[in-house]
Amino acid sequence: MIIAIDGEASTGKSTQAKKIAKELNIDYKDSGAYYRAITLFLIRNQINSREKLDNDLLSKIHISQKFKNDTFSIFLNGEDVTSKIRGHKVSISVSEYAKKPEIRKFVYNLLRKSSKLSSIIIDGRDIGTVVFPDADYKFFLYANPEIRAKRRHKEINDESVKIESIEREIRERDNKDSTRDIAPLKKAEDAHVIDVGYLTIDQVFEEILEKIIY
């Protein structure tokens, strides 16, 4: 079974995907975390997003994700980068790197390999449209950007970070992700659409679970 949770930035896709994975005892992969880890690797190696990436370089990137006892971790060449990939520099650069065809192919391979091993839930932007168009269940989450920024601000819990700058980053990322030529952020025709803006985490969870179980 493959479940795809796509949607706009900061709509709680990964929170929902982890809850569903736990409830159904299936695997979980965060596709955005792959793009973020690759971005971190390329920034560290001073490779800008306009450069062509050859196979030699890509073969130096080894990423693995683990979801165990409710805890998600991601490793880049053996280093735990779970927190580092959420940093500001990666967040503002990731969309530029994620539109590169060589990077997308790299991530698609990882996701498709994982789907062969067990039932899986994956969150991202193009899981139900491009990576797994035949997924068993598809969801698309969206919400007003102001509400998303407020929620992310609360989650970050750092008063030095302004809500306005979070909102700007969210809007810019959504704009870049939905206007790119390759695998843009868009709702799959057959996805269940959920406006998460006025629902609690548990209400969204119940709505998703109901569609899968009944």
Q: Which residues bind ligand CDP (CB under 6 A)?
A: 9-10, 13-14, 31-33, 35-36, 94-95, 98, 124-127, 173, 177
Q: Going along 61-136, which residue ranges are E strands?
A: 63-68, 71-76, 79-80, 120-124
Q: Considering the complex, state which of residue 113 and residue 214 has its C-beta at the smaller distance from ligand CDP.
A: 113
Find the shortest distance in angstroms from Cβ 161 to ligand CDP.
14
Q: What is the CA radius of gyration of the chain?
A: 16
Choose between 94 and 135: whose C-beta lies nearer to ligand CDP. Answer: 94
Q: Provide, rounded to whole angstroms, the least separation between the CB of residue 173 and ligand CDP.
A: 4
Which residues sit opposite 67 in a β-bridge? 72
Question: Residue 41: helix, strand or coil by DSSP?
Answer: helix
CB 189 to ligand CDP: min, Å = 18
- Name which of 174 and 192 has its Cβ closer to ligand CDP: 174
Q: How many Å apart are CA 130 and CA 143, to the nearest integer?
A: 22
Question: Which lies closer to ligand CDP via its Cβ, residue 24 or residue 92?
Answer: 92
Q: Which residue is nearest to ligand CDP (CB)?
A: 32
CA–CA distance, 124 with 176 (Å, rounded to integer): 14
Least gap, CB of 174 to ligand CDP (angstroms) = 8
Residue 111: CB atoms within 10 A of its CB come to 18
> Looking at beta carbons only, is 35 or 140 nearer to ligand CDP?
35
The residues near 74 (Cβ < 8 Å, ≥ 6 apart) are 30, 33, 34, 37, 63, 64, 65, 66, 80, 81, 82, 85
Min dist. Cβ of residue 213 to ligand CDP (A) = 25
Residues 61 and 94: their CA atoms lie apart, in Å, by 16
137 forms bridges with which residues in the sheet? 3
